[in-house]
Every structure is written in structure tokens, then in C-alpha cells.
Chains A and B, each alone.
Chain A
């Protein structure tokens, strides 16, 4: 269904009546495809491209009920002049890097252990077991962990069961422990998509490679260091970048656990942006934070495209 765009200048088309019919034919031959992709084009335009541009514009404005006026870089000056907000970028970096460290180790180790089971039925059920926790909505998981950290909650109960009552405290109310508590949430960080991605990667390793290793007398650790680890590198790279983008864009965890508190101790930039809408109606300021996060996500995504290049292979 390629489209012929050349319009004949003479011949039958020159005749007014015939020309009209020919144009109609052309429109009919073009229309189906364009018509069917139109809803997607419009939806993406209205709900992604327009807001993205509008957000950048708004970040240079002050918005209130009477309308918007230009304030140049005032919003950005507020962002970079606010020490507490800059601290919140540190919190973001801590959470992101901590989770990168976690995601490159624990889910992979568990996936490898399961993959090495000789009993295939057991393999299947262990895999299911580490997927199941995903059916609990993240909001519910966060609420349960919120209880764990409370003064009479699960962590303190476990601590006193081991005779460590003196360590017990309100984990989320203490500015020294609150960030550690947020990072510790969903310990041991195995269950879910990360684990599945590693597992899928292991399944893609050709059997001959593993058989050859056995014939060559490679031990368990040698198999890990020379085969599994190098061949899982694409999955690892993908997960590192997915994790970075995830923590750049999401703030559900501090929002529900602490709302950024105590004080500003567990604030992240995304949450500050949310509060700019929901609490302060300070839309210009919120847009400035959003634009900064947008740029950070863009950098991470471009690095990812650079490293994987899947898009070029497909077009």
C-alpha cells in the first residue's frame, strides 16, 4: 500500500471531471492507514507531547488563578537556591544507587540458584513463588511495611524476639533512620519483574554452552563467573537503567510512608513536585522540578539507547 504522490499534469487528469475522480481515488488509497493510526497520533500528542512542551514553558512562569506570567529563571533559582531541596536530590541518589546495587545482585543470584535445580518441577514452583508477591498492589505492600516500621510494628517485634530491644525505635520518625528504612523496604528485593528478566536470560543460554562447561570440568563457581555472569550482562544493563529511571520518576514510597518527613528528611524531588500541585498550587515551581527530572530521565534513556540499539534493528 505505497502511496503515489505524483500528480499527472497533463493527459486525462487535465480534464476537470476526470481529475476530480482521480483525486478521489488518491484520497481513498491514502486514507485507511492514516485514518487508523490517527487516534494514537492524537492521544500521544495531547497527553504526552503537549504536556511535555507545556511543562517546559510553565517552568518559566508563575501560575495562579488569574493566569500565568513570565518570571524567567525565578523557579529554577528557587530550586537551586533551596538547600533542603538539594538535599532531596541526595536522597534520590541514595535510593537509586542503593537499588541499582541490589538489582544487580540478589535477583540474579536467586534466579541462578533456581535455574540450577535438577528437579524441573521444583524449578517451576520456585519461579512461581518468587512471582506471587507481585499480586499485592505496591500501595498495599508499602502500607504493610509502614506498619513494620511503626513503634509497635514488625521490625521491633522481631528485634525484641532476638533480645535486641534497645535497638527498637519508631524507624520512620527518626531522621537518622528514615532513609535507611525506605531503602530497606521490600527486603530481600528478589520477587518480581527483575527476577523474571534474569530468569528469562538464563533460559536463553544455549544448552551446548553449559554442557561443554560440564565436559571441561568447570565447577559451580567457574560456571557462574565464566558463563552465567557474562551472558547475563545485557539483562543487568537493562535493569540498571530501568531502576535508575524508576527511581527518578516515582515517589510513591516516600509519599505513602512519610510524606517526606520527618521535616524534610525523606523528601525526594518528585514528591516535592507532587506537593507543589496538591498542597501549594505552586505550578511553576513544580514544573521546574519536573523539567529537571525530565532531563535526567532523558539522559539515562539516551544512554540506554546508545548501549542497546534495539530500535535501529527493528525499523
Chain B
């Protein structure tokens, strides 16, 4: 009886939500639908799905995109690892130790949040040119690894809120900074670190502007960059092939979402602090 009442209460809400969900999913529906059309199917019916579903579009798109996945793995993997290792050390030091210049370091880290990397795009580009790093993966890895401030802030908050008693006995035992970090800091911070890590993977996977400036060599381009090059390039592909490439570029994020839904959502919400 109660269930029925609840159901009746919920029905109008479901209908309103459906009204929002349909246009929200329309582009994804379009992408999937067109990705299966050959040239003639697209000409006859450009929107609704048609049979047979043409997997050859995916073959063409994949032959163009395949090498980018290794690049993304190397670039994002190294970048995120840099943020996680160096960022967590700094966050741990800031939160659990008092040392001369601690407050200064805190503001030094925090102030970077007011410098989005796109407003320093020109000098950053000049720096990469001066270092001779254009057209190397380092041109993207290093700025990514330097984007730590947000991660440090989230991890700092976590370490800061841990109970004092946890560390007191270790300190009495004479454990130094590094041992405390390895034995207490890291294991406890694993959930918060994976949330931040997933958020960063998502963020870097979406980045297009910076790689488009420094990676002109097709061999080391990233997925997002290669997708745009393919889609808008000199030899414009059939619509189906372009959409197939879009689908392919989303698959790793879909997998990431499926295997870590909770962490993914936590990571995105923690991104709220990012200014």
C-alpha cells in the first residue's frame, strides 16, 4: 500500500525528469546512430538508426586513431602519477608537519588556482619551445604533472582531518617523515587519492587546446586531438566514420566509469573545489 502511494507520488516527477533526459541523451543517440551508417544509408536516413549496422566505419576510424591510445596512456599516466606522488608528499607535509615556511608554501600552492593554464598559454608555449620540448610527450606531461594545486588541496583537507593520535605513537617510535608517509599517509589516503586520480584522468582526457599547440607530429598526438584532426581534416570523412571516431574516443572513459562509478562520482564532486 505504501509502495503504491510512493509510486503515485513519483510518477509526475519521473515524467518531468524524462523530459530533461531525452534532449540530454539526444546527442549520444545521434552519435551512435550515425556511426553505423554507410554513405547511402546516411543519405536516405541521416538520423534514425538503420540496418545493417556498419562496423566498417569503426575500422576506418580505428586505423586513424589506434596509435593515440598508447600516447594517452603514457602522457596521462605519467602526468597523473606525477601529481599523485609529488602532490601527496606536499599535502602530507603541509597537513601533518610544522616547519619554517609552511604557511608560505600553502599559499604558494593555493595561489596557482588563480592561474588557469589557458591564460598563460602564450608564455607556456614559449617556455616549451625554449626547452626544446615541442613535439615530445614531455611538452604535455610536464604541465599536467604541475597541475597539482587542486589535488594537493583535496588531499591536504583529508590529511588535516585525520586524528592526531594516529601519528603520535609513530612519532614517539622515532619514525621520520618518509616512513610516516608510507605507513600511515598513503594507505589511509587511498580512497581520496583514487577519486582525485579519476578526476584528473577525466580532465586530461578531455584536454584538446594544449596538445593541439605542441603536438603536431601525428605519431604522438592524443585521442582528443586526433579525433578533431580526423573529423575536420583536409579529407573530411564520411559522417559515419567521424561519429565512429567520436564513439571510439569515449570508450576508455565509459570503461573507467563502469568499473569505478562511485569513485568517479566522488572525484567529479571533489572537482567542485577547483576554481
B-contacting residues of A (Cβ < 8 Å)?
Answer: 1-3, 5, 30, 32-34, 36-37, 39-41, 43-44, 46-52, 54-55, 58, 63, 106, 110, 113-114, 116-119, 122, 126, 128-141, 143-145, 147-148, 152-154, 157, 187-188, 190-193, 196-197, 200, 238, 241-242, 245, 248-252, 255-256, 270, 273-274, 276-278, 283, 286-287, 290-291, 293-294, 297-298, 301-302, 304, 310-311, 314-315
A244 CA / B25 CA spacing, docked (Å): 26
**A188: contacting residue among B20, B87, B112, B223, CB under 8 A:** B20
A135 CA / B253 CA spacing, docked (Å): 5
Which chain A residues lie closer than 8 Å to B264 at the CB level?
Answer: 131
Quote the shortest CB–CB distance from B227 to chain A (angstroms).
6
Chain A binding surface, main DSSP class? helix
Quote the shortest CB–CB distance from B108 to chain A (angstroms).
7
Which chain B residues lie closer than 8 Å to A274 at the CB level?
Answer: 121, 209, 213
Chain B 92-127 near chain A by CB (<8 Å), digits 1 or 0: 011001111001011011101111111111111111
Q: B183 an interface residue at 8 Å Cβ cutoff?
A: no
| A249 pairs with B246, CB closer than 8 A | no
- Residue of B with least CB distance to A128: B261
| A137 pairs with B223, CB closer than 8 A | yes
A164 CA / B195 CA spacing, docked (Å): 47
Which chain A residues lie closer than 8 Å to B205 at the CB level?
Answer: 137
- Residue of B with least CB distance to A136: B250
| B30 pairs with A148, CB closer than 8 A | yes
Which chain B residues lie closer than 8 Å to A250 at the CB level?
Answer: 118, 209
Quote the shortest CB–CB distance from A181 to chain B (angstroms).
14
Asked whether A242 and B275 contact (CB < 8 A) given A141-B27, A143-B228, the answer is yes
A252 CA / B203 CA spacing, docked (Å): 14
19 contacts across the A-B interface (CB closer than 8 A):
A1-B98, A36-B177, A37-B89, A43-B142, A55-B120, A113-B16, A117-B10, A122-B10, A139-B224, A139-B227, A140-B31, A144-B28, A147-B34, A148-B27, A154-B30, A200-B272, A238-B272, A290-B121, A298-B114
| B269 pairs with A196, CB closer than 8 A | yes
User: Which chain B residues in 231-246 approach chain A with CB under 8 Å?
Assistant: 231-232, 239, 242-243, 246
| A157 pairs with B114, CB closer than 8 A | no
Quote the shortest CB–CB distance from B247 to chain A (angstroms).
8
**A255: contacting residue among B108, B156, B209, B231, CB under 8 A:** B209
| B99 pairs with A283, CB closer than 8 A | no
A282 CA / B148 CA spacing, docked (Å): 30
User: Which chain B residues in 251-275 approach chain A with CB under 8 Å?
Assistant: 253-254, 256-257, 261, 264-265, 268-269, 271-275
Which chain A residues lie closer than 8 Å to B206 at the CB level?
Answer: 137-139
Quote the shortest CB–CB distance from B49 to chain A (angstroms).
14
Chain B binding surface, main DSSP class? helix
| B93 pairs with A33, CB closer than 8 A | yes
Q: B190 an interface residue at 8 Å Cβ cutoff?
A: no
| B272 pairs with A193, CB closer than 8 A | yes
| A48 pairs with B146, CB closer than 8 A | yes
Quote the shortest CB–CB distance from B141 to chain A (angstroms).
11
Quote the shortest CB–CB distance from B209 to chain A (angstroms).
6
- Residue of A with least CB distance to B152: A40
| A58 pairs with B118, CB closer than 8 A | no
Q: B75 an interface residue at 8 Å Cβ cutoff?
A: no
A245 CA / B146 CA spacing, docked (Å): 20
Quote the shortest CB–CB distance from B174 to chain A (angstroms).
11
**B122: contacting residue among A193, A197, A287, A301, CB under 8 A:** A287
Q: B184 an interface residue at 8 Å Cβ cutoff?
A: no
Asked whether A47 and B146 contact (CB < 8 A) given A55-B120, A241-B275, the answer is yes
* Most chain B CB inside 10 Å of its own CB: which residue of A144, A255, A291: A144
Q: B143 an interface residue at 8 Å Cβ cutoff?
A: yes
- Residue of A with least CB distance to B8: A118
Asked whether A301 and B257 contact (CB < 8 A) given A58-B126, A138-B206, A140-B31, the answer is no
User: Which chain B residues in 135-156 approach chain A with CB under 8 Å?
Assistant: 142-143, 145-146, 148-149, 152, 156
A41 CA / B152 CA spacing, docked (Å): 12
| B246 pairs with A144, CB closer than 8 A | yes
| A297 pairs with B119, CB closer than 8 A | yes
